[in-house]
C-alpha cells in the first residue's frame, strides 16, 4: 500500500481513502477502534517522510466528533487529512448535528428539524 501510495501523486491523484477492506473471512484481523486509522497514519507518515503530497482519508469506527477531530488534529502529525464516516450515518442519520454539538461547533440545522430539536441540543438558526 505504501509503495502504491507513493506513485499516486505523480499520476494526478489528490486523495487516497485508506481501508484494509476486511471483506474475506480468511483474514484474521484483530478488530479494534484504531485499526483503520493506524493504517492511514502509517501510510501518511511514509508519504511525508518521502516528501510526497497526497491527502489521506481514514475510515473505521468513527462514531463521535471528538474522535474524528483527533484524527486530523492530533499533535503535529495527524493520522489523516480528512475523515470519511459512512457507517455511523446509517446508525445515526443526524451524525453531523451530534458531532457539531459534541465539538461545540455552530451548524445550520435543516429547516425541517427546528420543531423537533431535542431539549439538550443547541439549535442554531444562522
Q: Are residues 118 and 58 in the same domain?
A: no
65: how many CB neighbours lie within 10 A of its CB?
19
- Over residues 86-98, the mean pLDDT reads 92
The pTM score is: 0.80
Q: Are residues 12 and 58 in the same domain?
A: yes
Q: Are residues 87 and 69 in the same domain?
A: yes
CATH of the domain at 70: 3.20.20.70
Q: Are residues 79 and 31 in the same domain?
A: yes
Helix residue spans in the chain (DSSP H): 2-7, 35-49, 65-73, 87-91, 95-102
Q: Are residues 68 and 108 in the same domain?
A: no
Convert the pLDDT of each residue in 1-29 to its tens digit. 999 999 999 999 999 999 887 677 787 77
**Residue 96 banded pLDDT, cuts 50, 70, 90:** very high
| Domain range enclosing 112 | 95-126
Q: Are residues 48 and 79 in the same domain?
A: yes
Domain count across the chain: 2
Q: Are residues 117 and 64 in the same domain?
A: no
Q: Are residues 25 and 11 in the same domain?
A: yes
Q: Are residues 84 and 118 in the same domain?
A: no
pLDDT of the residue at 119: 64
Q: Are residues 78 and 107 in the same domain?
A: no
Q: Are residues 86 and 103 in the same domain?
A: no
- Contact indicator for 20, 35 with CB cutoff of 8 Å: yes
pLDDT of the residue at 123: 59
Convert the pLDDT of each residue in 38-90 to its tens digit. 999 999 999 999 999 999 999 988 999 999 999 999 778 899 999 999 999 99
Amino acid at each position: 500500500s505504501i509503495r502504491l501510495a507513493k506513485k499516486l501523486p505523480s499520476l494526478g491523484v489528490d486523495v487516497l481513502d485508506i481501508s484494509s477492506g476486511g471483506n474475506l473471512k480468511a483474514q484474521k484481523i484483530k478488530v479494534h477502534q484504531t485499526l483503520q486509522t493506524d493504517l492511514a497514519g502509517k501510510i501518511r507518515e511514509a508519504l511525508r517522510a518521502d516528501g510526497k503530497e497526497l491527502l489521506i482519508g481514514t475510515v473505521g469506527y468513527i462514531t463521535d466528533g471528538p474522535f474524528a477531530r483527533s484524527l486530523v488534529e492530533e499533535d503535529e502529525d495527524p493520522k489523516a487529512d480528512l475523515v470519511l464516516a459512512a457507517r455511523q450515518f446509517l446508525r445515526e442519520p443526524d451524525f453531523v448535528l451530534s458531532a457539531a454539538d459534541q465539538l461545540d461547533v455552530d451548524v445550520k440545522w435543516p429547516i425541517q428539524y427546528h420543531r423537533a430539536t431535542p431539549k439538550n441540543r443547541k439549535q442554531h438558526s444562522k
